[in-house]
Structure 1
Amino acid sequence: MNKIVSIGPAPTSPLAAEEFVPMRDGVRLATDVYLPNGDAEPGDTILIRLPYDKSGTYTFIPLVAEYFMTRGYRVVAQDVRGKFRSEGETLLFVNEAYDGYDTIEWITRQRWSNGRVAMWGDSYYGYTQWAAVSTQHPALKAIAPRVTGTQLGEPVEHRSNDITRGVEWGVTYLYPLSYFHSQDAYFWELDLDRRPFSAQVEEVLAEIGSRSISYDQWFPRPVHLRRFPAGSPFDARPVPVLQTIGLWDNCAPLSWADVAEIEKRPVWAMNHFLRIEAMDHESFYLGDPADARVAERSVEQVRGELPRMLDAVLDFFEIFVRGKGSASDFPRVTWALAGTEEVRTSASWPPPGTVERTLFATSDGHLATAPDIAGTTARWVHDPADLVPSSVDNAFAFLLDQPDEAPIGDRDDVLVFTGDAVEQEVNLVGPVMARARIHSDGPVMDLFIRLLDVAPDGTALRIARGQVQLADASRPTAVEVDLGQLSYRLAPGHRLRVHVSSSDFPEFIPQPGTGEHPWSAVDVRRNLQSLMLGGDEPLMFTLSVLEES
Structure 2
Amino acid sequence: MQIEFDVPAEMRDGTVLRADVYRPGGAGPWPVLLARLPYGKQTPMMTVLLDPLAAARRGFLVVIQDTRGRFASEGEWEPWTYEESDGYDTVRWAAGLPGSNGSVGMIGGSYFGNTQWMAALSKPPELKAIAPLITWSDPEDGLWTRGGAIELGTTVTWSLLHGADTLMRRHRTDPAALVSSLGRLVQDVDGLAGGGYAELPAGRFPAFARHDLPELGYERSRREPDWARSCTIAGRHHEVDLPTFQLGGWYDIFSQGTLDNFAAMRRAGRSATLIMGPWTHTNWQHVVGDVNFGFSAHSEYMGMRGRVHDMQFGWFQRILGGGDGGAVEPDTGQVLLFVMGINQWREETEWPLSRAVDTHFHLRAGGRLTPEPPSTAEQPEQFTYDPMDPVPTTGGALLMTDEFRTGPLDQTAVEAREDVLVFTTEPLTQDTEVTGRVKAVLFAATDGPSTDWVARLCDVDENGVSRNVADGIVRVRAATPGEPAEHVVDLWSTSIVFRAGHRIRLQVTSSNFPRWDRNLNTGEPEDSATTARVARQQIFHDPARPSRIVLPVVVPA
TM range (shorter): 0.7 to 0.9
Q: 2:503 aligns with which of 474, 480, 495?
A: 495
The range that moved more, 46-55 or 304-313, is 304-313
CA separation of 1:442 and 1:395: change in aligned 2, threshold 3 A = same
2:437·2:491 contact (CA, 8 Å) conserved in 1?
yes
CA separation of 1:368 and 1:127: change in aligned 2, threshold 3 A = same
Q: 1:511 aligns with which of 500, 519, 522?
A: 519
Amino acid at match of 1:321: L
Shift of 1:457: 1.4
- How many Å separate the matches in 2 of 1:67 and 1:485? 33
1:433·1:543 contact (CA, 8 Å) conserved in 2?
yes
Amino acid at match of 2:200: P
1:445 lines up with 2:434 in the alignment: no
2:520·2:531 contact (CA, 8 Å) conserved in 1?
yes
Shift of 1:463: 1.1
Q: Deviations over 1:479-519 (max 9, x none)?
A: 21221222111122111111111000000000112222346
SS at 2:318's partner residue?
A: helix
SS at 1:57's partner residue?
A: coil
SS at 1:313's partner residue?
A: helix
In the alignment, which residue of structure 2 is the partner of 1:274?
274
1:135·1:230 contact (CA, 8 Å) conserved in 2?
no
Shift of 1:290: 8.0
Amino acid at match of 2:113: G
SS at 1:473's partner residue?
A: coil
CA separation of 1:238 and 1:392: change in aligned 2, threshold 3 A = same
1:362·1:417 contact (CA, 8 Å) conserved in 2?
yes
In the alignment, which residue of structure 2 is the partner of 1:251?
254
In the alignment, which residue of structure 1 is the partner of 2:94?
107
Q: Deviations over 1:36-90 (max 9, x none)?
A: 23x4532111101111111122444797101212211111001111111111111
CA separation of 1:129 and 1:362: change in aligned 2, threshold 3 A = same
1:308 lines up with 2:316 in the alignment: no
SS at 2:150's partner residue?
A: coil
The range that moved more, 87-96 or 226-235, is 226-235
In the alignment, which residue of structure 1 is the partner of 2:138?
151
1:177·1:215 contact (CA, 8 Å) conserved in 2?
no
- How many Å separate the matches in 2 of 1:548 and 1:218? 48
SS at 2:256's partner residue?
A: helix
Shift of 1:229: 9.8
- How many Å separate the matches in 2 of 1:400 and 1:169? 15
Shift of 1:360: 0.4
- How many Å separate the matches in 1 of 2:548 and 2:48? 45
Shift of 1:240: 0.1
- How many Å separate the matches in 2 of 1:351 and 1:60? 33
- How many Å separate the matches in 2 of 1:546 and 1:16? 51
Aligned positions of 1:47-62 closer than 5 A:
47-60=34-47
Q: Deviations over 1:147-199 (max 9, x none)?
A: 102334789999xxxxx952211133553444268646865133248542569
CA separation of 1:228 and 1:60: change in aligned 2, threshold 3 A = same
Shift of 1:435: 1.1
- How many Å separate the matches in 1 of 2:124 and 2:441? 44
1:451·1:462 contact (CA, 8 Å) conserved in 2?
yes
Amino acid at match of 2:75: G
CA separation of 1:56 and 1:229: change in aligned 2, threshold 3 A = closer
In the alignment, which residue of structure 1 is the partner of 2:239?
236
CA separation of 1:152 and 1:77: change in aligned 2, threshold 3 A = farther
CA separation of 1:532 and 1:390: change in aligned 2, threshold 3 A = same
The two structures have a TM-score, normalised by structure 2, of 0.84
1:380·1:414 contact (CA, 8 Å) conserved in 2?
yes
Aligned positions of 1:117-136 closer than 5 A:
117-136=104-123
- How many Å separate the matches in 2 of 1:316 and 1:337? 23
In the alignment, which residue of structure 2 is the partner of 1:175?
158
- How many Å separate the matches in 2 of 1:429 and 1:484? 11
- How many Å separate the matches in 1 of 2:224 and 2:485? 27
SS at 1:279's partner residue?
A: strand
In the alignment, which residue of structure 2 is the partner of 1:196?
200
CA separation of 1:375 and 1:394: change in aligned 2, threshold 3 A = closer
SS at 2:462's partner residue?
A: coil
1:131·1:233 contact (CA, 8 Å) conserved in 2?
no
In the alignment, which residue of structure 1 is the partner of 2:486?
478
In the alignment, which residue of structure 2 is the partner of 1:93?
80
Q: 2:53 aligns with which of 28, 43, 66?
A: 66
1:147·1:252 contact (CA, 8 Å) conserved in 2?
yes
Q: Deviations over 1:387-416 (max 9, x none)?
A: 100004981388756421132111000000
2:339·2:345 contact (CA, 8 Å) conserved in 1?
yes
1:391 lines up with 2:388 in the alignment: no
1:20·1:28 contact (CA, 8 Å) conserved in 2?
yes
SS at 1:119's partner residue?
A: strand
The unaligned stretches of length 5 or more in structure 1 are 1-12, 159-163, 294-300
SS at 1:47's partner residue?
A: strand
CA separation of 1:499 and 1:138: change in aligned 2, threshold 3 A = same
CA separation of 1:478 and 1:148: change in aligned 2, threshold 3 A = same
Q: Deviations over 1:332-356 (max 9, x none)?
A: 2111111234211122123353323
In the alignment, which residue of structure 1 is the partner of 2:176?
none
Shift of 1:247: 0.8
- How many Å separate the matches in 2 of 1:378 and 1:182? 50
In the alignment, which residue of structure 2 is the partner of 1:26?
14
SS at 2:149's partner residue?
A: coil
1:361·1:539 contact (CA, 8 Å) conserved in 2?
yes
In the alignment, which residue of structure 1 is the partner of 2:420?
414
SS at 1:395's partner residue?
A: coil
Amino acid at match of 2:72: R
- How many Å separate the matches in 1 of 2:151 and 2:207? 21
- How many Å separate the matches in 2 of 1:42 and 1:119? 17
- How many Å separate the matches in 2 of 1:62 and 1:230? 22
In the alignment, which residue of structure 2 is the partner of 1:6?
none
CA separation of 1:290 and 1:414: change in aligned 2, threshold 3 A = closer
* Number of corresponding residues: 518
1:356·1:545 contact (CA, 8 Å) conserved in 2?
yes
SS at 1:507's partner residue?
A: coil
2:320·2:328 contact (CA, 8 Å) conserved in 1?
no
Q: Deviations over 1:88-116 (max 9, x none)?
A: 11111121011111111111211111101
SS at 2:439's partner residue?
A: strand
SS at 2:114's partner residue?
A: helix
The two structures have a TM-score, normalised by structure 1, of 0.85
Percent of aligned pairs with the same amino acid? 27
CA separation of 1:155 and 1:490: change in aligned 2, threshold 3 A = closer
SS at 1:463's partner residue?
A: strand
CA separation of 1:459 and 1:508: change in aligned 2, threshold 3 A = same
SS at 2:252's partner residue?
A: coil
- How many Å separate the matches in 2 of 1:133 and 1:479? 37
Aligned positions of 1:71-90 closer than 5 A:
71-90=58-77
- How many Å separate the matches in 2 of 1:224 and 1:132? 19
1:343 lines up with 2:325 in the alignment: no
- How many Å separate the matches in 1 of 2:142 and 2:240? 28
2:142·2:254 contact (CA, 8 Å) conserved in 1?
no
- How many Å separate the matches in 2 of 1:79 and 1:510? 35
SS at 2:507's partner residue?
A: strand
Amino acid at match of 1:28: V
Q: 2:553 aligns with which of 542, 545, 549?
A: 545
2:79·2:214 contact (CA, 8 Å) conserved in 1?
no
CA separation of 1:423 and 1:410: change in aligned 2, threshold 3 A = same
In the alignment, which residue of structure 2 is the partner of 1:116?
103
SS at 1:478's partner residue?
A: strand
